[in-house]
Chain A
Amino acid sequence: MTADYDLAIIGAGPAGLAAAGLAAELGLTVALLDEQERPGGQIYRAIETVGASRPLAAKALGPDYERGRGLVDAMRAARVDYLPGAVVWNVSRELAVNFSRQGGSREIRARHVLVATGAMERPVPVPGWTRPGVMTVGALQIMLKTSGLVADGRVVLAGSGPLLLLLASQYVEAGAPPAAVVETVPRARYVEALAHLPKALRAAGYLAKGVRLMRTLARAGVPVYRGASDLSVEGGERATGLAFRQGGRERRVEADLVALHQGVVPNQQITRLLGCNHVFDDGQRCFRPVLDDWFATSLDGVSVAGDGGGIGGAVAAEHAGRVAVCGIAHRLGALSEPERDARAAPSRAALDRDLAVRPFLETLYRPPREVLEPADDVLVCRCEEVTAGAVRGAAALGCPGPNQAKSFLRCGMGPCQGRVCGPVVSEIIADALGSDPGAVGYYRIRPPLKPLTLGELAALDTDTESGAA
């Protein structure tokens, strides 16, 4: 089999961009495939277009967003085959990557594949979360980045995590302060998280930023309800308010739009598809692929950098991308072992420093049980409209894991292919069986990763003579 590239990188966020630049510098031939039309991933989305044409949006998004510009510029200047608008629908264990692009399908073969597909927001299954007028906090931020859009009217942001406060503050800066922020962090968590504070001080910039965000909200007079629980979106065909409990009292805030957030989890679609080993990470409360010191998976020739390998944030993703490439370049014979170690050392040190804040954040923002294992009447599979109660029922009937529940109930069988309900279904079954998600497992993921038309499939251009092998 002849390879088209030394390295195929999937995802042009911070990990993929940093990796592509360094790999090209080390003399590897690189293809960088990305689903979006422009580089940056979700975190630096639209970074190339926002500054010049939309100064107000750029100002609201703040200086950390600006960091993406350097990464994108460096990738553009490097010898990288950048393929935007490429929707990867299969990756084989032989390292052939199939993708749709511009109405056709193509296959490329690589000596090594780096999965840099990042994170997605953790599903927040609360009563009413499927109503129009409910979105994720990340979705609001994407609209601000790509189109300079802010939600009009009464916007209520609910849940927990750094992004919740960040977006609230960005809305204040944009002149559209949210009507309320409803935070689900129990008071006891602050005390628990204190134990990790000394270590977190190694990455004190993040803590200072958190304080700044809270000050911005206070100055703007945004009401912040802390220690909330029992969230429920009210309304008919549209969301009209958010009900919750706070300090033993029932409360309700009017809302035209409710944005939910409970942190982010790795996007596991490709590593699951490839059959890489995964582990349930208790601290981050999510599955992640098992990786070695160089971010290589259990499958030879496949590595993962960035949030797709475990949540570390955008800056950590960059460093991880570079460390991963050092390991890959060594495996492919482009760096000797001492060269690899020396080359990776500064990025590894920066990565360790940056990750020091994670235990603090993970403890403080651990998702509440009501989100991990919602009440019986709450829909967990949005596509097939399967409730938490139905999943519990299947577990009671003897379903030992998500794949059996899927054949009983169709959960995870709709167009999103379990991306949204997967984490919840594993949690519910584990809880029902008195087990843990690591033991009950996760959905099997099969190609195509994204729906593709027969036309696209028929037009598959394998580009190489090795297709018959």
Chain B
Amino acid sequence: MFRRLEEDAGRAPVRFRFEGREIEAYEGDTLAAALAAAGALSLRDTPVSGAPRAPYCMMGVCFDCLVEVDGRKNCQACMTVVEPGMEVRRQTGGDGAEA
């Protein structure tokens, strides 16, 4: 789906988990970018129809990349920088994402 253009010598690897699966990313990656690089695009199901959604804007505007991070819902994957050991889950249902 996405590939890294080059090995990045300057940045340390960071391991986290997505839906129980271990993902290796680089320091400074956002969750959305790290997951896209690992082939995971669909990050949530909509509360209304249950349709799958993936990151769309990558800059914090569209909120289509909402995930659950360490039990906390409604985290924007494109605005969250990966940290070692994060437990990330797809977000389903409408709990509390209302404005």
Question: Which residues of chain A have a CB within 8 Å of any CB of chain B?
Answer: 35, 37, 42, 46, 49, 52-57, 60, 87, 120-121, 130-136, 138-139, 142-144, 146-153, 174-176, 237-238, 256-257, 267, 382-385, 413-417, 419-420, 450-451, 453
Contact = CB atoms under 8 A, between A and B. Distances in A.
Contacts of A267: 61
A120 B59 CA distance: 8
Contacts of A237: 42, 52
A152 B3 contact: yes
B75 to A, nearest CB: 10
Contact of B59 (A138, A148, A453): A138
Given A55-B6, A149-B5, A133 B41 contact: yes
Contacts of A383: 46, 63
Interface residues of B, number: 46
B58 A142 contact: yes
Which among A42, A46, A60 has the highest number of chain B CB atoms within 10 Å? A42
B59 A42 contact: yes
A132 B30 CA distance: 18
B2 A54 contact: no
A451 B74 contact: yes
A136 B97 contact: no
A149 B61 contact: no
A151 B2 contact: yes
A130 B51 contact: yes
B66 interface: yes
Contacts of A35: 60, 79
B40 to A, nearest CB: 10
Contact of A143 (B52, B58, B61): B58
Given A384-B48, A415-B66, A49 B10 contact: yes
B28 A146 contact: yes
A138 B99 contact: no
